[in-house]
Amino acid sequence: MTGQSTALVVGASRGLGLALVEEWLGRGWRVIATARGRSDPLEKLATRFPSSLEVEVVDINDAGTVRALRERLGGRRVDVLFINAGIARDIEASPVGARETDFLDMMLTNAFSPVRAVEILRDLVPTGGTIAIMSSELGSIANATGSWQLYASSKAALNMLMKGYAAKHADDRHALLLVAPGWVRTEMGGSDAILSVEQSIPLVVDMVDANRGKAGLRYVDRFNNPLPW
Ligand SMILES: NC(=O)c1ccc[n+]([C@@H]2O[C@H](COP(=O)([O-])OP(=O)(O)OC[C@H]3O[C@@H](n4cnc5c(N)ncnc54)[C@H](OP(=O)(O)O)[C@@H]3O)[C@@H](O)[C@H]2O)c1
């Protein structure tokens, strides 16, 4: 790849998405970062990196905003498309105690919408480029412990939808990554999480880099170790 590489990070207002943006900017990349609305942390980053950071508005659950972004980016090359957006609701609950709408919201935001966004944005990524989605260690059915079971189910559904995507687009020469970043202290991860953002995200970016040019779907942790589906 020649020239400055570009990453498009969808869901970058705070937490891990914001950290991904900052990490790639620090490594000399151009970054297109999306938020649902105004994000003060992204605005601050844009003043530090005025010529390398572009901020766009996308709500991943609103396909129109994703399509509008695709239109605005017409003709651009995105080396890494990273869908990070996600939510966690009713983390202690089982189906008998949870609000049905919380489960449906997680299925929409964590599984359906990310893969729809990949379908809409995929042709911005050239052959040899990378499409990554933030999954979770909790998305592994083989390793399930019952922890955060409703959220975990939405990440397992994401993994399944990407299996389908990979089969449908078997001729694409993209690296397709379902990323497990570890349990990280963010608004979602909470203060008991074992990793700081700084202990996770640089390794995630190294791992994405290590997969450059390797076509096919992989479900991997931040050390690039494969996880059981
Ligand atoms: N933290 C962990 O331990 C951990 C572990 C495994 C996987 N993950 C995954 O990592 C990703 C980021 O998590 P985080 O810990 O950084 O969570 P977070 O601090 O709660 O941040 C979530 C991000 O997703 C965005 N988002 C939510 N719904 C969206 C929508 N409909 N459209 C666009 N953006 C949306 C949020 O934007 P707003 O500011 O607009 O709400 C925010 O930028 C998620 O996919 C999560 O499931 C996290």
- Residue ranges per structural domain of the chain: 6-221
| Ligand 1 contacts CB of residue 109 (under 6 A) | yes
| Cα 171 to ligand 1 centre (Å) | 30
Residue 2: predicted pLDDT = 55
Task: Quickly name the fold that domain 6-221 has.
Answer: Rossmann fold (3.40.50)
What are 91-118's pLDDT values in tens digits?
999 999 999 999 999 999 999 999 999 9
What are 137-183's pLDDT values in tens digits?
999 999 999 999 999 999 999 999 999 999 999 999 999 999 999 99
| Cα 2 to ligand 1 centre (Å) | 31
| Cα 15 to ligand 1 centre (Å) | 7
The packing angle between helices 63-72 and 113-121, to 10°, is: 20
Q: Which atom of ligand 1 is nearest to the CA of 155?
A: 47
b/e string for 187-214 if b means 16 or more Cβ within 10 A?
ebbeeeeebebeebbbbbbebbeebeee
Is the model's pLDDT at 211 over the cut of 90?
A: yes
Element (H, E) at 150: helix 149-168
Mean pLDDT, residues 69-73 taken together: 98
Neighbours of 91 (CB within 10 A): 17
| Ligand 1 contacts CB of residue 114 (under 6 A) | no
| Ligand 1 contacts CB of residue 187 (under 6 A) | yes
Residue 3: predicted pLDDT = 86
Q: Comparing C-alpha atoms, which of 210, 21, 30, 112 is closest to residue 225? A: 210
